[in-house]
Each structure stands twice: as structure tokens, then as C-alpha cells.
Amino acid sequence: MITEEMLGIYSKFDGDIDGFTRAGSAYDRSIISAAQWLEIVRLVQELHTVKASLVSDHYSAQVEQSLSAVAATTGAKYRLWLLA
């Protein structure tokens, strides 16, 4: 599950996994793994295509379903939309 705390760390590094890897604290790395980081990147990219109306309604629904499955809270879901 993607949490608001993970998204806070992701935002702190502006989505830059290299910066996170080099400068992230042990605490940061205990909250979010590289795999979770990449999941956030994937979701943000997919949500961006939905926001820009570049995909079909069917695909939009699939993205929304995927988002609902991985966002731990409504707040996390909202923050992912804002990042897109």
C-alpha cells in the first residue's frame, strides 16, 4: 500500500530516485523501498495520461481501479492525483 508518508518522501526528492538513493536517510529508506518508489512513478505517469485525456474511458477506469487498490487512504489517493 502507498501511504501519505511515502508520498511525502517521494515529494521531498521531487520524484528523483537517484537523489533518494544518494541522500535519503535510513528512516526514509525504512518507509519506502525502491520497488514502492517505482510503483509511485508508474501510477503518477498513468494518472498524468488520464488527466490529459490521452487514454480511453476503459483505460481510465482501470487506472482508477489500480489507484484504489494501492492507495492506503483517500488522502494518499488525492496526493497521487496532485503529483500527476
Residue 47: the pLDDT is 97
> What percent of the chain is modeled with pLDDT above 90?
100
pLDDT tens string 5-26: 999 999 999 999 999 999 999 9
pLDDT tens string 23-57: 999 999 999 999 999 999 999 999 999 999 999 99
Residue 16: the pLDDT is 97
Q: Whole domain around residue 78: which residue ranges?
A: 4-83
Residue 38 CA: distances (Å) to CA of 44, 56, 58: 10, 24, 24
The answer to whether 76 and 7 are in contact (CB under 8 A) is: yes
Domain count, the chain: 1
